[in-house]
Amino acid sequence: MKKDNIVLIGMPASGKSTVGVILAKILGYNFIDADIVIQEKEGRKLSEIIQTEGVDGFIDIENRINSEIEAEKTIIATGGSVVYGKEAMDHYKNIGKIVYLKVSMDVLTKRLNDVKQRGVVMKDGQSLVSLYNERTPLYDKYADYTIDEKDHTMEEVVADILAVL
């Protein structure tokens, strides 16, 4: 399989799905939202999976399903917790370029109102700050390219991605 996919990683609300759709239109690529693939294969919402299976159970399901996604010329928007799955991330490295959409904690706090309803994978009692600090080194580890969103518009973020590809 060719490495012609672009895999977007980053915190929830970093704009992976929105940017992914725009990129797909510009490049003439397909678009896959990995969270929707998980919901379709499991027949339930992410928040229900997390509630029923627990955080570790969800991460196992997410890792398995992401590592099975086969695509060509596709933008793949992943869930924020995909970086916990080594098999999924190794798979994505093999089939594409990984782009980390980096947002500041301030921006994240403004964008992310209801973490539970959104299906954000957090341990009981974990704060958004500790989640951010836990995941950031993993995003850095797997990223082929890091796009710091700063206070850019989605169009500017897309232009930054196109400039590095």
Q: Give the domain ranges of the chain.
A: 5-164
Please give the C-alpha separations between residue 40 and each of 19, 100, 102, in angstroms, as whole numbers: 22, 25, 28
Neighbours of 52 (CB within 10 A): 11
Element (H, E) at 65: helix 46-67
The whole model's pTM is what? Answer: 0.94
Edge-first strand order for the sheet with 96-102 is 30-33, 74-77, 5-9, 96-102, 145-148
β-pairing, 74-77 vs 96-102, is: unpaired
pLDDT band at 148 (very low <50, low <70, confident <90, very high): very high
Block residue for tokens 């999976």: 49
Domain 5-164 matching CATH 3.30.1370.60: the answer reads no
Tell me: the pLDDT tens digits for 18-67? 999 999 999 999 999 999 999 999 999 998 999 999 999 999 999 999 99
Tell me: the pLDDT tens digits for 91-130? 999 999 999 999 999 888 888 876 655 667 888 888 889 9
Residue type (1 letter), 25 = K
